[in-house]
Amino acid sequence: MKISKLSIVLLGVALVAPFVMYPVLLMKILCFALFASAFNLLLGFVGLLSFGHAIFLGTGGYVTGYLVMNSGLSPLLGILAGTAAAAALGAVYGKLSVKREGIYFAMVTLALAQLMFFVFLQAPFTGGENGLQGIPRGFLFGFIDLSDNLNMYYFVLAIFLFGFWVINRTIHSPFGQVLKAIRENEPRATSLGYNVNDYKWAAFVISAALSGLAGSTKTLVFQLASLTDVHWHMSGEVVLMTLVGGMGTIFGPLVGAAAIVGLQNFLSGGELGNYVHIIMGLIFIVCVLAFRSGIVGEIQKIVKRNFS
Amino acid sequence: MAEFLGINLFGLFGQLLVGLINGSFYALLSLGLAIIFGLLKIINFAQGAIYMLGAFLAYLALQYLGISYWAALIVVPLVVGLLGILMERFLIRPIANEDHLYSLLLTFGVALVLQGLFTHLFGSSGMSYPIPEAFSGGIKLPFMYLPNYRAWIVVASLVVCVGTWWMIEKTKLGAYLRAGTENPALMQAFGINVPLMVTLTFGFGVALAGFAGVMAAPVYSVSPDMGSNLLIVVFAIVVIGGMGSIGGAIITGLGMGIVEGLTKYFYPEASNTVIFLVMVIVLLIKPAGLFGKEA
Annotated domain spans of chain A = 22-230
Predicted local confidence at residue B243, as pLDDT:
76
Annotated domain spans of chain B = 11-285
| CB contact (8 A) between residue B91 and residue A274 | no
Predicted local confidence at residue A162, as pLDDT:
94
* B112 and chain A in contact, CB less than 8 A: yes
The C-alpha of A67 sits at a distance from chain B's nearest C-alpha, in angstroms, of: 25
Q: What is the pLDDT of residues A126-185, one digit of tens each?
A: 887 788 888 888 777 877 777 788 888 999 999 999 999 999 999 999 999 999 999 988
CATH fold of B11-285, please? Answer: ABC transporter involved in vitamin B12 uptake, BtuC (1.10.3470)
* Successive 10-residue mean pLDDT values, chain B, 295 residues: 64 85 92 86 90 93 88 92 93 86 90 91 83 78 80 91 90 85 84 87 93 91 88 88 82 91 85 87 83 64
**Least confident piece of the model among A107-116, A137-146, A198-207:** A137-146
Which residues of chain B are within 8 Å of residue A289 when distances are taken between CB atoms? 91, 94-95, 106
Residue type for A233, please?
A: H
* B33 and chain A in contact, CB less than 8 A: no
Task: Indicate the residue of B110, B116, B269 with minimum beta-carbon distance to A285.
Answer: B110
Q: What is the pLDDT of residues A210-234, one digit of tens each?
A: 999 999 999 999 988 888 899 888 9
Among residues 85-124 of chain A, which lie with CB inside 8 Å of chain B?
Answer: 96-97, 99-100, 102-104, 106-108, 110-112, 114-115, 118-119, 121-122
| CB contact (8 A) between residue A281 and residue B100 | no
Predicted local confidence at residue A171, as pLDDT:
92
* B96 and chain A in contact, CB less than 8 A: no
Predicted local confidence at residue B5, as pLDDT:
65
The C-alpha of A165 sits at a distance from chain B's nearest C-alpha, in angstroms, of: 28
Rounded to an integer, the average pLDDT of A274-286 is: 87
| CB contact (8 A) between residue B113 and residue A288 | no
Predicted local confidence at residue B1, as pLDDT:
47
Q: Is the ipTM of this complex over 0.95?
A: no
* A197 and chain B in contact, CB less than 8 A: no
